Amino acid sequence: MTLQEALVTYSRVNLTETNDWYQWSINPKLLPTGVILPEGSYYLQNVALKQQLSALYSSANTQVKIEITKYYISKWGGIKRNSEEKIRSYALDAPALLITKGTQGIPSWSKALCIRCPKDYAIYDARVALSLNCLQIVEEVYHPILFPLLTGQNKRINEGSRIVRQYATQHGWQLVQEQSFYQKYNKILSAAANLLVVNIYTLEMLLFAKTPELLHRALSER
């Protein structure tokens, strides 16, 4: 089984009409002007937020693009350590230039790309990274690939990343290239999403939400 096949298999079990497994709440008081959230699950609200921010970004001037990007990274995403210069770069630099940064700042700049073009770019952060690697253990993917594991704000996730990294090293997993793994990640999500007739952000949101479950299963089966 390939990683793409594993992701499709796992998604078919977990995706539902409401996708209530996604529990990232949005503070309505911090929403940018013009954004209106629908009633419904956190999943539906976060999808609506992505779509509306993307539409606003596509027709915005430079300053508004920066403001939209800053909102999504710092207020929605909770990453507050970026300088104004970095936010400007993430908001305006060409995607190819941002991708060459590899893991440097990827939890932030992948959010920026997700807003620019949510159908082509997905968020890559500590939880998603851990889930990608755990899924390969759980589904017994052949020729597993170690995607970069990131340090986040959650101690359990960081400890899980340490254990999975050690496991992958002991079992001789192939390492992805620093400058190309993000494209590979999006390619896998895109191919799986096409088979499932969903958007890539749905699969990214699933990986994000299911990290504790996947980590538990991976540690149980290793």
Length of the chain measured in residues: 222
Tell me: do 11 and 69 sit in the same domain: no
| Residues spanned by the domain of 131 | 3-17+124-221
86, 116, 146 - which closes a domain? 116
221, pLDDT greater than 90: no
Partner residues linked to 195 by β-bridges: none
What pLDDT band is residue 101 in, cutting at 50, 70 and 90?
Answer: very high
Tell me: do 110 and 159 sit in the same domain: no
Number of H helices, E strands in the chain: 11, 2
Residue 198, domain member (yes or no): yes
| Per-residue pLDDT tens digits for 24-37 | 999 999 999 999 99
d(CA 209, CA 68): 24
Residue 154, domain member (yes or no): yes
First-to-last C-alpha distance (Å) of the chain: 17
Nearest to 192 by CA among 132, 115, 116: 132
Average pLDDT, the chain: 96
47, 82, 116 - which closes a domain? 116
109-121: average pLDDT: 97
87-96: average pLDDT: 98
d(CA 204, CA 200): 6
Residue 23, domain member (yes or no): no
Instruction: Count up the domains in the chain and report the number.
Output: 2
Residue 65, domain member (yes or no): yes
Residue 22, domain member (yes or no): no
Question: CB neighbours of 61 closer than 8 A, spacing ≥ 6?
Answer: none
222, pLDDT greater than 80: no
